[in-house]
Amino acid sequence: MKILFVTSHLFFSEPLGVMLLSAIAKRDGHQTKLCVLTRQSIDEALQEFEPDVIGYSTITANEHYFIAADAQVEEHARRTGRKIWRIMGGPHPTYFPEVLDKMKLDAVVVGHGDNAFPAILQRIEAGRDFADIPNVVQHASVPLIKEVVEDLDRLPHLDRSLIYDYDPSMMEVGIRSFQTQRGCPYKCTYCFNHAYNRMFKGDGRKLFVRRSVDHLLAEIRHVRDNYPTLRFLRFSDDVFAIRADAWLEEFAERYSKEVGLPFYCLIRADGLVDEVGRLLAKAGCQSVSMSIETGVLEARQTVLKRNMPDDMLYKAFAVARKYGIHTHSNTMLGLPGTTLEDDFASFRFSRACAPSAATFSVFCPFPKTELTEYAQAKGLLPDNFDYNNNYRNESVLTNYTALERRIQVNLSYLGPMFCNLPAFMEPVLRFLCRLPFNGVYNFAGSIFNTYLMSFRVFKGGQPTDPMSWVRNGWKAVRYYLISGRMGKRRKTASVATAATDSGT
């Protein structure tokens, strides 16, 4: 069969889930192709490829892209008289399986699709329904059979040709993404991980699973040998290392000898103790993303449930500096229960931590997260809030004035630059933030962020030929500009890109 995988965006970081499902489908003899909705009309892809199955993969914030595209799929099916099976997976249907009926899809996959998706394809070929397939919802009234894939070593290497066939220019950037594990044991209130853990825990299922070092290094060598532009690795795990355990020790020993390329990963401040820093440096870690989220201790501990005192954060960034590891941090402004002065306190705290690249974003609520429910309980967000119209950067909380919202947005643009200036410049920052120059600040901040991420966090991953560097540099700047206009999405939507990753 022909399977068309559909995503909304394609930036520098590859969509790992789609690439894995494509590898599984090709292993079973199917053909696959990619369609990116912000780059291509799905009607064009349908006419060129004539797929039998559509595999949508989306986050909640991008649902509207898929509703519009699916209408074109249905119209194409009516016009041609062909049955096209429409399946949706990813974070959105996992937490909102009601999208099955909303879009009248043939099925949605909740959670891991490694076994579910090939089982669906087998049933389609056999002319049978999807009853009793774990993690698959075909009828809303049928209880979900839950499954967590625990043996990651049996999964095939990602199908990177799916991406590079679609956009050969992505080969120019030497950054390749890999995943070493699945799951997150923490309970940060802005994240969906705690909801996933509640959903799938029980019956002996392991929610935090890891690949063997053997399996991981084999895939890295495969990519290095078959895609020779590999210069830098990005590990996309929510948390790359929790402690200095046997896995990390083996990885540090073998990676430096068998791969020897710089890499980036996400880590929590409570995990970056001295021994972990030593092992990461030994392996060749160039940079980590380690979020601050807020400089207000009470909000960090009780509202966000981060369980990280100030000293822990200061020490973690100091450990990174001790071992020559660059750091990227993100800090949220406009958190429920905080004030504009708290936002400037967060800026000062971020600067004091001295990350190599600091970024700031305005809190954006997503349904069913604990932090959103907290905002609603405090009367800061209406119960009937329209999340689909929330793709913007200004705070949507009701306790801020229009001026305060503008100041927060400007602080998110200017904060990274002023983190690299002396403390006595803060009055200048406050003055500039009050001015109505959002567009100017967005443009300047976009260039500055691109510089920091390119030459500090992902140094070495850039294209080596000048024209490719300029082309991809502009792509990064353009991404920041669009993010500024449409709203920076937080990891509450399970989004992470190579240019804007935020540590858990």
Predicted confidence at residue 472, as pLDDT, reads: 62
Pair 130, 177 in one domain: no
State the pLDDT at residue 383: 76
| Residue 390: exposure state from Cβ atoms within 10 A (0-12, 13-18, ≥19) | middle
Q: What is the pLDDT of residue 501?
A: 34
Say if residue 114 is in the same domain as residue 182. no
- Do 104 and 186 lie in one domain? The reply is no
73 and 179 fall within a common domain: no
Pairing state of beta strands 326-333 and 357-362? parallel
Residues 21 and 123 in one domain: yes
CATH code, domain with 224: 3.80.30.20
Distance between CA atoms of residues 132 and 357, nearest Å: 48
Which CATH number goes with the domain that contains 36?
Answer: 3.40.50.280
Residue-level pLDDT at 386: 74
CB 327 within 8 A of CB 357: yes
| Same domain flag for 251 and 360 | yes
Does residue 501 sit within a domain? no
Looking at residue 491, its pLDDT comes to: 35
Whether residue 313 is found in the same domain as residue 381: yes
Asked whether residue 223 is assigned to any structural domain, the reply reads: yes
CA distance 266 to 499: 13
- Helices 466-486 + 438-452 axis angle, to 10: 140
Q: What is the pLDDT of residue 254?
A: 98
pLDDT of the residue at 487: 43
Residue 105 lies in a domain: yes
Query: Is the whole model's pTM more than 0.85, yes or no?
Result: yes
- How many domains does the chain contain in total? 2
Residue 165 lies in a domain: no
pLDDT of residue 366: 82
CA 262 from centroid of its chain's CA atoms: 21
Query: In this structure, are 118 and 264 located in the same domain?
Result: no
User: In Å, how far are 60, 90, 211, 228 from 106, measured between CA atoms?
Assistant: 19, 15, 32, 40
> 193 and 89: one domain?
no
Q: Which amino acid is at 379?
A: G
Is residue 164 in a domain?
A: no
Residue 237: give the domain boundaries: 172-493
**Could you give the C-alpha distances from 208 to 151, 158, 211, 462, 503, in angstroms and in order?**
11, 20, 11, 33, 17
Question: Domain for residue 454, yes or no?
Answer: yes
User: How far apart, in whole angstroms, are the C-alpha atoms of residue 311 and residue 300?
Assistant: 13
**Looking at residue 486, what is its pLDDT?**
45
Residues 116 and 186 in one domain: no
CA angle, 95 as apex, 93 and 97 as ends, to 5°? 45
356 and 420 share a domain? Answer: yes
Positions in the chain short of pLDDT 70: 12, 388-392, 463-504
- CB atoms inside a 10 Å sphere around CB 316: 24
pLDDT for residue 50: 97
Same domain, 100 and 186: no
Per-residue pLDDT tens over the stretch 144-187? 999 999 999 999 999 999 999 999 888 888 899 999 999 998 98
Residue 18's pLDDT is what? 97
- Of 110, 137, 164, the residue that ends a domain is 137
User: Position of tokens 């949706």?
Assistant: 88
